[in-house]
Amino acid sequence: MARPANTRKEETHERIVEAAARAIRRHGYAGLGVAEVMKDAGLTHGGFYAHFESRDALLVEALERAGRDSADNVARSAAQRAARGVSPFRALVDAYLADRHLVSMDSGCPVAALGSDMPRQSELVREASAQRVRRLVDRVTTALPETHRAAAGVVTGTLVGSLQLARALGNTTEGRALLAGARQALLQQYDTPAAAGTATSPEQAP
């Protein structure tokens, strides 16, 4: 039995958004080409406007998808670590500053991948970007011990900036050392004493 037309259209729409979410993290907003995204999704360029009013509309949905995927990955990692007695904050830090994000830009946090591009976008995309930043700060706030939650903005900036700088150095001894130093500094200052002796492997983080 054939699938309803709406279902096929929704599935096609999701393929386009998934391809665009990978593209913006890999190449930035400016590097997202409609033709390339449609090709990656296995579709022709001509079908784009059956799904989106504009390129900016695609950027907004792609950013939302990239953020949701990243949050889901971190949540899964945190749950695994929680089962081993790791604090929520340590789980977040290890996941966000995992060494493998040096070579896997299309699967990490979109704020780190796009931060410098965000202020240069249209109003529509800037607002979606600002909302993504707010959600990241909220996630950090929730993970922090209650006594440190006022520092959520500072911690978020440290996470994002450290990953950006490490990526600039590349998957090298320098890049990995920068991430390791940032992880250690954040955990020493903000983690709960009960979790301070718990070791985790950032290589296993999403």
Among residues 194, 80, 77, the alpha carbon closest in space to that of 139 is found at: 77
* The predicted structure's pLDDT at residue 6: 66
* The predicted structure's pLDDT at residue 44: 85
Q: Domain limits of the chain?
A: 5-204
Average pLDDT score over residue span 28-51:
88
Out of 1.10.287.1260, 1.10.357.10, 3.40.710.10, 3.40.50.800, select the CATH number for domain 5-204.
1.10.357.10
What global pTM score does this model have? 0.82
Average pLDDT score over residue span 28-32:
87
- What distance in Å separates the CA atoms of residue 151 and residue 144, rounded to the nearest whole number? 9
Do the Cβ atoms of 190 and 88 come closer than 8 Å?
no
Confidence of residue 193 (pLDDT cuts 50, 70, 90): low
Q: Which two tokens stand for residue 154?
A: 């500072």
Q: Which two tokens stand for residue 11?
A: 């599935």
Does pLDDT of 203 surpass 50?
no
Average pLDDT score over residue span 51-76:
90
Chain centroid to CA 167: 14
**Which has the higher per-residue pLDDT, 131 or 78?**
131
* The predicted structure's pLDDT at residue 97: 93
